[in-house]
Structure 1
Amino acid sequence: MASNLYFIGGGNMAEAIITAVRKHDDRYPVDHIYVEDISEARLSYLEKTYQVTPATPRDTPDNVDIAVIAVRPQDDVTGVATSIVNRFDQRTTSVVSIVAGYTIAQLERTLGGERRITRIIPNTLTTVDYGYSGVSSNQAAADAPDSVRKGLDAWLSTFGKPLHVEERLIDVITGFYPPNLVYHFIDAYVDAGVLAGLPRDISKAIALDTVIGGTELLKQRDVLPQVLLNINNSPGGVGITEAYTLNKTGFAAAIQSAVLAAVERTTKLGKEAQ
């Protein structure tokens, strides 16, 4: 049987999920996707592009299987949760939150502990079938009937690769996975080629191919990066010279500091949420 989804918030992450769900309709058939958003222009775009049904906070459509809280942490998350309580039957509707930093305990204060609640912070790479996402559920969701749990897992698998983890790890995964870090690296890598004298289009082509090819080789060999680094870093060679220069500039520490700062910011967003 096909399912019905209801999104409160129609931003970029909600759109990424909707894109993936539409792409994998064979994996998770959907009858209706309802979306409510404060922007009429945004709703019109989503309706035209993905054939969603625009909704308002007053709507109470029947047979909603999953209600998705897709607002920002700085928005009125408590108000959204209260709206769900007033409109959706906890016996039939599971709640999924994609709000960064906002915990299950915070949601349960409004939704109640008997409501099936799941947290997942999807990766924007879901649209290209990549991106791990940390998933955690409350006891009510864990105790749900098999059909409900299998349905939720099928839906989660349409947008990326769900990892069921302890909730405390969700913020760590969220801060760790954004592809922005890769984009920053590639941007610098391309500029380096230009600085060395390559035309930008050639530098970009080489950089992208090197990143993709290097990653694929690492996956095929199934070894730690240090193994391939040791192979490539011959005595007095180009590779070891590059490694020495990166070490002098604090390359590894810069990446690690950026990830830790992102994790800290994710956790802080939840504490600041309403």
Structure 2
Amino acid sequence: MNVYFLGGGNMAAAIAGGLVKQGGYRVHIANRGEEKRARLARELGVAVSEKLPPLTADDVVILAVKPQDMQTACAGLETNGALVLSVAAGLSADTLSRYLGGTRRIVRIMPNTPSSIGLGVSGLYAAAGADEADRQTAERIMQAVGITVWLDEEAQMHAITGISGSGPAYVFYLLNALKSAALAQGFDEEQARSLSLATFKGAVALAEQSGSDFGVLQQNVTSKGGTTYEAIETFKARQVGEAIEAGVAACVARSQEMAQQYGAV
């Protein structure tokens, strides 16, 4: 199967790399920058070009340019019935269809950055013109870089953007906060980083293996009146949980706002 990428940014490189490792795909990346094309060809061993070659109905094209650049990038692009996958945030299937001359064979995808190491989460939504075979193709492609979650309604793309799409940034924020706390307690930079990473990694592994509710796991290490209890009570007093929920809601609202902006263009 031919899989073409329009755009050679980090997410395109991550997905392309996953497909190359999995095998069974002929991967081609179109990117305007000559230096980046050379690097992608060298590092991934894929075909590259400045523009996409002519497409056929048997091909898959993945739109991986920035949302604000998508209309220009798609100008003059003839899909010729190819399956279109889009990893651009905020661009609805209707908007993409308008950019692409009316095609409805579209699957929208919201991946996240851990896709670059094969541990991504991708939310997928199939437009009305994509059939079951198209859904299976999109799923196979994205499972090359992690797990997939199908969404019944396109509006849910905003919600998954707020949770898993932007979620790695929240984790990095918390990692940095814990590292800063470690530094404040006298650990050096290397120790603070190591302690923070190992704590997150161990806690996630324990949660995965135990299958217990996250709240129960927290209670298991929070004896009333003890040291952990004091930390958790401080988090509650500072409304850390509520702040995270509010942050996710703000992310979702911004995604909805962007969709309206792009849809009006």
CA gap of 1:60–1:263, structure 2 versus 1, over 3 A, is same
Choose which of 172, 184, 187 in structure 1 pairs with 2:159.
172
Choose which of 204, 211, 214 in structure 2 pairs with 1:215.
204
Map of 2:50 onto structure 1: 56
2:248 maps to a residue whose letter is V
Q: Is 1:224–2:216 an aligned residue pair?
A: no
SS of residue paired to 1:132: strand
TM-score under structure 1 length normalisation: 0.87
Report deviation, 1:192: 0.5
CA gap of 1:65–1:150, structure 2 versus 1, over 3 A, is same
CA gap of 1:232–1:55, structure 2 versus 1, over 3 A, is same
Distance in 2 (CA, whole Å) between partners of 1:211 and 1:58 is 42
The farther-off stretch of 53-62 and 99-108 is 53-62
CA gap of 1:203–1:78, structure 2 versus 1, over 3 A, is closer
Any stretches of 5+ residues in structure 2 without a counterpart? none
SS of residue paired to 1:154: helix
Report deviation, 1:127: 2.4
Map of 1:78 onto structure 2: 71
1:41 maps to a residue whose letter is E
1:30 maps to a residue whose letter is Y
Deviations 1:37-72 (A, max 9, x none): 222221121122112222233732667611111111
The farther-off stretch of 34-43 and 149-158 is 149-158
Any stretches of 5+ residues in structure 1 without a counterpart? none
Map of 1:153 onto structure 2: 139
Q: Is 1:162–2:151 an aligned residue pair?
A: no
Would you say the 8 A contact 1:123–1:133 is kept in 2? yes
Map of 1:66 onto structure 2: 60
Give the length in aligned residue pairs.
260
1:89 maps to a residue whose letter is N
Distance in 1 (CA, whole Å) between partners of 2:46 and 2:261 is 31
Map of 1:249 onto structure 2: 238
Identity, % of aligned positions: 27
2:25 maps to a residue whose letter is V
Map of 1:6 onto structure 2: 4
Report deviation, 1:110: 4.0
SS of residue paired to 1:167: coil
Runs of 4+ in 1 over 6 A off after TM superposition: none
SS of residue paired to 2:170: helix
Map 1:88-107; keep pairs closer than 5 Å: 88-90=79-81, 93-107=82-96
Map of 1:202 onto structure 2: 191
What value does the CA root-mean-square deviation take over the aligned residues?
Answer: 2.1
Distance in 2 (CA, whole Å) between partners of 1:8 and 1:251 is 40
TM-score under structure 2 length normalisation: 0.89
SS of residue paired to 1:74: helix
Map of 2:113 onto structure 1: 124
Distance in 2 (CA, whole Å) between partners of 1:225 and 1:66 is 39
Report deviation, 1:115: 3.7
